[in-house]
A and B are shown apart, each in its own frame.
Chain A
């Protein structure tokens, strides 16, 4: 029985390390959100309004 507890303890140790890693990810820098925020601010500062013509162009291309 004692040996059994020890065995489960050994098995749980890597799992505990993994859990700690998960918590670390949780407070990690949100790169995608930061990029989105940067784009929003840069578009505003440089007046880069999304050009709708770019998106419409392919749809308007005549089929040949």
Chain B
């Protein structure tokens, strides 16, 4: 009897050990981000950044909690340019939404989209320059 229990536990320990090492190997692996779709979105956003940079710095546009951008202070923009800023924000958000979705599907887990979005939301804010505006739980904050 004792041997039976002993043997089944030994087999169990082996199985547990095998399962525990699997996530470690998985965690070390990188996410796939080198797809044509992701590269295209990336360069589109990079090109747009030359136009957005000034608006981030003036506080006209800020980073939201959900990994997007939004108009924070329209008064920081001359009236004639406001339409343009709205267009930039809309285009940027379209790219960002597509990017999060694309990374999730490229890695075979479309259900990861929201977690990828929140990871990006944190990293955008983390890497933002001081003086830029971002949203936290309480609202807009100047970095």
Give A contacts to B, CB under 8 Å: 1, 4-5, 7-8, 11-12, 15, 18-19, 22-23, 25-26, 28-48
Contacts and interface: CB of A to CB of B under 8 A. Distances in A.
A43 B4 CA distance: 57
Contacts, number: 88
B16 A47 contact: no
A59 to B, nearest CB: 25
A45 B22 CA distance: 33
B12 A15 contact: yes
B46 interface: yes
A30 B15 contact: no
A47 B115 CA distance: 24
A4 B127 contact: no
B49 A41 contact: no
A4 B119 CA distance: 50
B26 interface: yes
B26 A19 contact: no
Interface stretch (B27-35, B73-81, B83-91): B27-35
Given A33-B29, A37-B30, A46 B127 contact: yes
B123 A35 contact: yes
B27 A33 contact: yes
A40 B119 CA distance: 12
Given A11-B5, A46-B49, A30 B31 contact: yes
A60 B123 CA distance: 30
